[in-house]
Amino acid sequence: MTSPLEDPSLERHFKGHRDTVTSVDFNPNMKQLASGSMDNCLMVWNFKPQMRAYRFVGHKDAVMNVRFSPSGHLVASASRDKTVRLWIPSVKGESTVFKAHTATVRSVDFSGDGQTLVTASDDKTIKLWTVHRQKFLFSLNQHMNWVFPGWPTDCVR
């Protein structure tokens, strides 16, 4: 009897970061992959082999987490430089910087409707932001220690 599941096989190799890769996320349209790295860069990889990858430079320290918005039109990155950046995943590589944390930002995620961004930091806070107005909304400050990196996926969606 044969199993309906086959052993996994390598589909494609993505090479371009200059240091450890810390985070990856699929674009909901399944045409791109975002990755963050200790090399301070965010990269957006196109699945079509003939299309090149985009390297986004702007963070001053390691990128700890990356996340596509539900629409796939934006990518958020959290960094050890205490900032979060919101990127348009295109050749221009434009970004907006969100500054309010006082320590490494370990995690970032979008609400299900893509209107709100949530960040978690070693400063023991969780912060919420509006995406389109790019404004700080409020901070949750009752944590006794730093916030674990994986929490937004479980709590926000």
Q: Would you list the DSSP string of 106-138? A: EEEEE-TTSSEEEEEETTS-EEEEESSS--EEE
Domains of the chain: 21-155 (2.130.10.10)
For the chain, where are the alpha helices, taking DSSP H only?
Answer: 151-155
Q: Per 3-state DSSP, what percentage of the chain is helix, strand, and coil (rounded to 5)? A: 5, 40, 55
Using one digit for the tens of pLDDT, what is the confidence trace for 76-111? 999 999 999 999 988 788 899 999 899 999 999 999
Using one digit for the tens of pLDDT, what is the confidence trace for 51-82? 788 999 999 999 999 999 999 999 999 999 99
pLDDT band for position 154 (cuts 50, 70, 90): very low
